[in-house]
Structure 1
Amino acid sequence: MAPLRDPQHLKRAFSRMSIDVGARLRFVRARHGLSQRTLAKRAGVTNSAISLIEANRVNPSVGALKRILDGVPIGMAEFFALEPEPERKAFFAAEDLTEIGRRAAKGAISYRQVGDSLFGRKLQILKERYEPGADTGRVPLSHEGEEGGIVLSGRLEVTVDAERRILGPGDAYSFDSRRPHRFRCVGPNPCEVVSACTPPSF
């Protein structure tokens, strides 16, 4: 294969190669500890654009992909040269969970992922911890996929579309992730949640 040295080489290689661009982008983003929202902000694109590409619902142009990769940052040649191996590990101790991002809006939110690499995986599982007052933000989240979770401790306010509920230990939620949604810890104590989404889209 010719070296990927210029846009035309990249364009021809991109069109020829049977590459799961979505899974590869998700792997690179997770390896750099970036959420979809953070990468979108860095690249100057919408969060939904990242979500659609990672779900392989949209095939980005070479120019669009380069712009996104510049936000990581990682070069196009390195991106195409990556050969990540699907993780085969089946069991994870508490200390093995991977921190993939913290939000600082009105209190910290920790997202600890089961598994370091989700390359080739169709499910993402998170252990989430919201400090009192922590909020995912006034702008609702929206992305491809489905998600659900169970509250382990504390009280979590969940808003989906115009519907709002306060969930306590043992309560759960499940919805299409394309519906605008928001999470906020209410009450004086931290809130812990175990959540899952498919395909991996956080």
Structure 2
Amino acid sequence: MVAAIGETVRSIRRERTLTLEQLAEASGLSAGVISQLERGIGNPAFATLVQLAHALDVPVGRLLLRIEDNKSPIVRKTERRRVGGHGLATAAATYELLTPDLSGALEATWVTSQPGHDTSKTPFTHNGEEFGIVISGSLDVFIDGVRHHLEAGDSIRYSSTIPHWYVNPGDEPAHCIWVSTPPTW
């Protein structure tokens, strides 16, 4: 697992065009510690992963999600991987990865939000852009506090750098597809 975390850190660091020294300065860790982690050496403390995630501007869960070398471009419905979501996945919402891995420029997620599910207590901001489409049910998407009501078939696109959250105001689950670039996990 440490090797997988190290590979993920190295991949994200390179994607952000950061040197070891630049990441060390941004995270408050030494370049040696980061280098060892990237090579799969040692056993990093959770606090170390939090510092790295903050410096890389990714959720800490993305460092823990193993990116497997998947030769197939297909993700079967029965083989979707659950990932943590806004405020982490709960009984009120599930998040399933629709892309084979997180090594590409975008991620697609199947989101099921139960009636009443509300993420307004933890607005989200991160680099990139998001696109969502409601497949069934309804969803209120708030962007910088402005409510956008979506019904089945409606879609939305916005900058992820703006605080955003969502609420399922309906009496049935909302099934949606959400696409983020770059990947947020």
Q: TM-score, normalised by structure 1?
A: 0.61
* Structure 2: gaps (5+ residues): 42-66
How many percent identity over aligned positions?
26
Find the partner of 1:180 among 140, 152, 163: 163
Find the partner of 1:129 among 95, 112, 128: 112
- Per-residue deviation, residues 127-146 of structure 1 (Å, max 9, x unmatched): 00001111223231100011
What SS is found at the alignment partner of 1:77? helix
Whole-Å Cα distance in 2 between the matches of residues 22 and 54 of structure 1?
Answer: 12
Tell me what 1:81 maps to: 40
* Structure 1: gaps (5+ residues): 1-20, 28-51, 68-74
1:42-61 correspondence to structure 2 within 5 Å = 56=16, 59-61=22-24
What SS is found at the alignment partner of 1:179? coil
Tell me what 1:45 maps to: none
Give the number of equivalent residue pairs.
150
Q: Is the 8 A contact 1:108 1:131 kept in 2?
A: yes
C-alpha change, 1:56 and 1:89, in structure 2 (3 Å) is same
Whole-Å Cα distance in 1 between the matches of residues 149 and 97 of structure 2?
Answer: 24
Whole-Å Cα distance in 1 between the matches of residues 120 and 17 of structure 2?
Answer: 26
Cα shift at 1:53: 6.3
Cα-Cα RMSD: 3.6
C-alpha change, 1:198 and 1:65, in structure 2 (3 Å) is farther
Whole-Å Cα distance in 1 between the matches of residues 14 and 172 of structure 2?
Answer: 35
Q: Which amino acid in the other structure matches residue 140 of structure 1?
A: P
Cα shift at 1:88: 2.8
Whole-Å Cα distance in 1 between the matches of residues 10 and 121 of structure 2?
Answer: 25
Cα shift at 1:57: 7.0
Whole-Å Cα distance in 1 between the matches of residues 107 and 74 of structure 2?
Answer: 14
Q: Which amino acid in the other structure matches residue 38 of structure 2?
A: F
C-alpha change, 1:60 and 1:183, in structure 2 (3 Å) is same
Q: Is the 8 A contact 2:141 2:167 kept in 1?
A: yes
Tell me what 1:113 maps to: 97
Whole-Å Cα distance in 1 between the matches of residues 81 and 6 of structure 2?
Answer: 21
Tell me what 2:123 maps to: 140
Tell me what 1:13 maps to: none
Whole-Å Cα distance in 1 between the matches of residues 7 and 105 of structure 2?
Answer: 9
Q: Is the 8 A contact 2:74 2:100 kept in 1?
A: no
